[in-house]
Amino acid sequence: MPIKRNVFLLLFLLASFKVSATVDYGRDSYPLNYLQRNLSLILVNDNISPPMASRVYMYSHMASYCILMNEDKKNICSSVKDFPVINLSAYGKKYLPSLAASFAFFQVAEKMIYTVQPFRDSFAVLQNWYRNQGITPDVFQQSKKVGMAVAQKIINWMNTDRFNETRKMNKYVLLKTPGKWQLTSPGYFPAVEPHWGEIRPLLLTDRKELDKLLPIPFDTSRKSFFYKEADTLYKITTRLSDEQKLIASFWDCNPFALKPVGHINLIDKKISPGGHWMNIAAIASHSKGLDIKQTSQVFTRCAIALFDAFIYTWDKKYQYSYLRPETFIQQNGIDNNWKPFIQSPPFPEFPSGHAVVSNAAASVLTGYFGADFTFIDDTEIAYGLAPRKFNSFLQAADEATISRVYGGIHFIFSCFTGQQMGKLIGDKINRQFEKTETKH
């Protein structure tokens, strides 16, 4: 997506989000939804990897959350190890929490993106929106002061999560052992974020139960379970129905996909799995008419689930370093010319990242909104795909899970083990929120 088009979309979104007629501007969720949507557009434009995108979402929303929830005696910040002390009492009452939260969100997000100017332009429009509501200059400046102060605390804390250290670690070296991950066509990109498992998680500190979920042993013999899994996957993908192809495409969410144009391949920019689920969180919050405080609770819960799920998933991906189905199918006598329906992303296979993060996100959203929650997911309209209706978040996660089988990029066992992992992660995060947060 060209930068100029992105600027147009960013400014257009101010008009496309409707401000509630029944909620005063200080409580309206509009600013936070606006910032979230624009941030997702920037992340797509910048080709930010899925793990890194989850980090951007999480810290940005934690910055706004700790301002909006500051007056509550119970909030999730108390459960986060080494979280900075946020004491806003010194600023008195002469600031608007939603505006301060907007400044904090923007300031933190800006530190982690590449395309800065369009994001600044969109935030300038949001600031003018606040001014047009009649906010006084002194309240505006005090709100900005609060937001900037909190943002700096979050940025200082963010800089201790080992992300900077992982930038200096050695590049991943392909293993020559049978069954290990190899580069895949068409891009043959190097391994993405091989050290992401070193990043500090927020709430997922106990992983014993998760670590019991193991992949099946690699085996090329035709009677082995592994070979049968590959053969079953092959047969499924060679007989896909139109609906199965649509499901695979709807949940593709591959920022690394290449689109052939003549004799060259261009990056086909798409939203990440995390970005897709953050949009589902926005859809659910908007449909329930939540105010900005409630919306922040939803976004933050979802962002933490995604962040911790990606850390765990990436740790396991590079621990096991399993090969992709296309490598096995082509090299073990099933079909030398077979290609998956969607492109294999550039990192090891087990577990399915989409299965883990989708089920983690769906579980925390279920924890907030309940099990029976019908919604229409319009996330992929921008990428040429029609909306899909779901009767629950977990139904959507089920579809995201099986989509990787239809797409041909994951073994069946990897998808359903990832599904178990994601639900366990989501349940753990739900329990933390239930213990430490006052639900509004």
CATH number for the domain harbouring residue 321: 1.10.606.20
- β-pair partners for 375: 390
165, 193, 221: which is the final residue of a domain? 165
- Residue 234 pLDDT level (bands cut at 50, 70, 90): very high
CA distance 86 to 151: 10
pLDDT of 92 reads 81
Coil, strand, or helix at residue 51?
helix
Q: How many CA atoms lie within 13 A of 219 on its CB side?
A: 12
Q: Which residue has the tokens 């990440």?
A: 272
Which amino acid does the sequence have at 277? Answer: W
CA distance 394 to 414: 18
Question: For residue 21, is pLDDT > 70?
Answer: no
165, 180, 213: which is the final residue of a domain? 165
CA distance 18 to 141: 26
Residues 149 and 181 in one domain: no
CA distance 349 to 179: 11
Question: For residue 12, is pLDDT > 60?
Answer: no
Q: What are residue 317's phi and psi, to 5 degrees?
A: -55, -45
Q: How many CA atoms lie within 13 A of 134 on its CB side?
A: 3
Question: For residue 16, is pLDDT > 50?
Answer: no
Question: For residue 15, is pLDDT > 80?
Answer: no
| % of the chain with per-residue pLDDT over 90 | 86
pLDDT of 49 reads 96
Nearest of 188, 199, 227 to residue 318 by alpha carbon: 199
pLDDT of 271 reads 95
- Residue 10 pLDDT level (bands cut at 50, 70, 90): very low
- β-pair partners for 322: 180
CB 115 within 8 A of CB 45: yes
Average pLDDT, integer, range 80-91? 90
Please count the other Cβ atoms lying within 10 Å of the Cβ belonging to residue 75: 21
CB 255 within 8 A of CB 350: no
Condensed to tens digits (0 to 9), the pLDDT of residues 338-359 reads: 999 999 999 999 999 999 999 9
CB 353 within 8 A of CB 254: no
- Residue 19 pLDDT level (bands cut at 50, 70, 90): very low
Nearest of 13, 110, 15, 3 to residue 63 by alpha carbon: 110
Tokens representing 417 are 């083990």
Average pLDDT, the chain: 93
- Please state at what angle helix 412-436 crosses helix 292-320, rounded to 10 degrees: 140
Residues 232 and 138 in one domain: no
- β-pair partners for 266: 259
Coil, strand, or helix at residue 252?
coil
Residues 189 and 115 in one domain: no
- Domain housing 337: 171-436
Please count the other Cβ atoms lying within 10 Å of the Cβ belonging to residue 289: 12
Q: Which residue has the tokens 């997911």?
A: 377
Residues 113 and 156 in one domain: yes
Residues 369 and 400 in one domain: yes
Coil, strand, or helix at residue 287?
helix
Q: Which residue has the tokens 């996957």?
A: 233
CA distance 342 to 354: 14
pLDDT of 91 reads 85
pLDDT of 264 reads 83
Residues 256 and 304 in one domain: yes
Residues 104 and 189 in one domain: no
Residues 82 and 185 in one domain: no
- Residue 2 pLDDT level (bands cut at 50, 70, 90): very low
Condensed to tens digits (0 to 9), the pLDDT of residues 307-337 reads: 999 999 999 999 999 999 999 999 999 999 9
Residues 160 and 233 in one domain: no
Condensed to tens digits (0 to 9), the pLDDT of residues 40-75 reads: 999 999 999 999 999 999 999 999 999 999 988 789
Residues 118 and 65 in one domain: yes
Condensed to tens digits (0 to 9), the pLDDT of residues 410-437 reads: 999 999 999 999 999 999 999 999 998 8
Q: Count of domains in the chain? A: 2
Which amino acid does the sequence have at 311? Answer: I
Nearest of 74, 67, 77, 82 to residue 436 by alpha carbon: 74
Residues 241 and 370 in one domain: yes
Burial class (CB in 10 A: 0-12, 13-18, 19+), 412: buried
Average pLDDT, integer, range 144-168? 98
Cα-Cα end-to-end distance for the chain: 38
CA distance 406 to 238: 9
| % of the chain with per-residue pLDDT over 70 | 95
pLDDT of 168 reads 97
pLDDT of 3 reads 40
- Residue 262 pLDDT level (bands cut at 50, 70, 90): confident
CB 419 within 8 A of CB 248: no
Tokens representing 28 are 């309206």
Q: What 8-state DSSP symbol labels residue 440?
A: -
150, 165, 180: which is the final residue of a domain? 165
Alpha helices (runs of H) in 78-136, residue ranges in sequence order:
97-110, 116-132
pLDDT of 7 reads 42
CB 309 within 8 A of CB 57: no
- Residue 268 pLDDT level (bands cut at 50, 70, 90): confident
Condensed to tens digits (0 to 9), the pLDDT of residues 90-118 reads: 888 789 999 999 999 999 999 999 999 99
CA distance 95 to 43: 30
Residues 334 and 224 in one domain: yes
CA distance 87 to 14: 32
